[in-house]
């Protein structure tokens, strides 16, 4: 699927005019590229700072550098799998457990809280952008479909974060009744299979009950404001980077229209079609630029240069971080750490 994404981008470049895209690339300026790289490093560090804030509330502390390396390794998984960021979060939880000994339930609770406070500013910005775009700009219908999918996902995360769970009632009654009815209708082999499935479902339900309860009580009011503010800064940096690229390439356009184009492209790229939104992001950005008076080649050039900073550069760092964690900074054994990593 990663190859499909790269092939899609190559096909777009050939179709829209390779020579025109190369000519646009020739206008790139090294100082602006270095500024964009600096902005990307800052946003990556801010994301790691959010993780550190909640992780270090536990008795086991992790440095910002260690969390940044783990965060980058998670981003590597996210960039090569169509995971809507969930595959990357699972990798982060696994690595954080190995390096800190904090339980999976607590780390999942932290992930749920961070996912909620990260998506909340983006959802607000998307609502404002789509409202403005609906009035003043052309927006394809599939963008609104992507928004509905994001809204459903956000509602699910919010439910996990705020719901109150009762560990004495984990849905076992209904599951037992269902299993008992099925046991009367199937043979002994199928009964064993259903019993195993039922037990696994109950374990998963109890796990998310524990994670939800911890997530709900994890963040104070001041920490909520801090997390939302950091997330807002991170999301506002996205159109800023695209705006710098578009002006560097000579596309004289305002920040507002760039924000509309950027957020719609990221919104579509979140749909789990291709790894890291590879191909869908570039195609949507090229289309949005063309709908607002620029050529598709110019739009694709902006998309490719933007992704060089926001996708390919972090992917390179992530590969180094993954290798570093795998071969150099390996976690101590459970006996050496004196903690239970289960």
Mean local confidence (pLDDT), 181-191: 53
Count Cβ atoms within 10 A of the Cβ of residue 216 and give its class: 0-12 exposed, 13-18 middle, 19 or more buried: middle
Measured in whole angstroms, how far is the alpha carbon of residue 142 from the centre of its chain?
Answer: 20
Task: Return the higher-pLDDT residue of 138 and 174.
Answer: 138
Residue 170: is its pLDDT beyond 60?
Answer: no
Structure tokens at 1: 């699927």
**pLDDT tens for each residue of 203-235:** 666 666 666 666 767 888 888 899 999 999 999
| % of the chain with per-residue pLDDT over 90 | 19
pLDDT classification of 42: cutoffs 50, 70, 90? very high
Residue 171: is its pLDDT beyond 50?
Answer: no
Assessment of whether the complete model's pTM goes beyond 0.85: no
**pLDDT tens for each residue of 71-118:** 888 888 877 776 555 667 888 888 888 888 888 888 888 888 888 999
Task: Delimit the domains of the chain by residue range.
Answer: 2-151+224-331
Check the CA dihedral 119-124-125-127 and report its sign. Answer: positive
**pLDDT tens for each residue of 250-299:** 888 889 889 989 999 988 888 777 777 788 888 889 888 888 888 888 88
Phi-psi region of 18 (alpha: psi -120 to 50; beta: other; left: phi over 0): alpha
Residue 80 has a pLDDT of: 75
Structure tokens at 4: 């499909």
Residue 181: is its pLDDT beyond 80?
Answer: no
**What secondary structure letter does DSSP report for 275?**
G
Count Cβ atoms within 10 A of the Cβ of residue 247 and give its class: 0-12 exposed, 13-18 middle, 19 or more buried: middle
Residue 49 has a pLDDT of: 92
């Amino acid at each position: 699927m990663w190859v499909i994404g790269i092939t899609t981008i190559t096909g777009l470049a050939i179709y829209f005019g390779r020579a025109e895209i190369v000519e646009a690339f020739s206008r790139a300026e090294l100082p602006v590229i270095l500024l964009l790289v600096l902005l990307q490093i800052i946003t990556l560090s801010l994301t790691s700072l959010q993780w550190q804030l909640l992780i270090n509330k536990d008795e086991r502390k992790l440095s910002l550098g260690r969390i940044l390396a783990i965060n980058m390794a998670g981003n590597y998984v996210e960039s090569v799998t169509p995971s809507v960021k969930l595959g990357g979060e699972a990798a982060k939880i696994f690595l954080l457990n190995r390096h800190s000994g904090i339980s999976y339930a607590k780390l999942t609770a932290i992930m749920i809280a961070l996912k909620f406070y990260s998506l909340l500013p983006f959802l607000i910005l998307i609502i404002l952008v789509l409202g403005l775009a609906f009035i003043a700009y052309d927006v394809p219908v599939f963008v609104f479909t992507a928004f509905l999918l994001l809204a459903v996902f956000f509602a699910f995360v919010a439910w996990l974060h705020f719901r109150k769970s009762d560990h004495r009632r984990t849905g076992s009654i209904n599951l037992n009744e269902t299993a008992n009815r099925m046991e009367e209708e199937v043979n002994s082999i199928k009964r064993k299979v259903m019993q195993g499935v039922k037990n696994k479902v109950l374990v998963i339900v109890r796990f998310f009950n524990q994670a939800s309860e911890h997530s709900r009580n994890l963040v104070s009011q001041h920490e909520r404001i801090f997390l939302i503010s950091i997330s807002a800064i991170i999301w506002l940096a996205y159109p800023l980077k695209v705006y710098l690229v578009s002006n560097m390439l000579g596309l004289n356009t305002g920040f507002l229209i760039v924000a509309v184009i950027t957020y719609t492209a990221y919104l579509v790229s979140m749909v789990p079609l291709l790894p890291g939104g590879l191909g869908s992001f570039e195609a949507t950005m090229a289309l949005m630029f063309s709908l607002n008076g620029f050529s598709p080649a110019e739009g694709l050039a902006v998309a490719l240069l933007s992704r060089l900073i926001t996708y390919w550069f972090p992917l390179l760092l992530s590969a180094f971080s993954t290798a570093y964690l795998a071969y150099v900074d390996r976690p101590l054994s459970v006996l050496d750490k004196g903690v239970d990593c289960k």
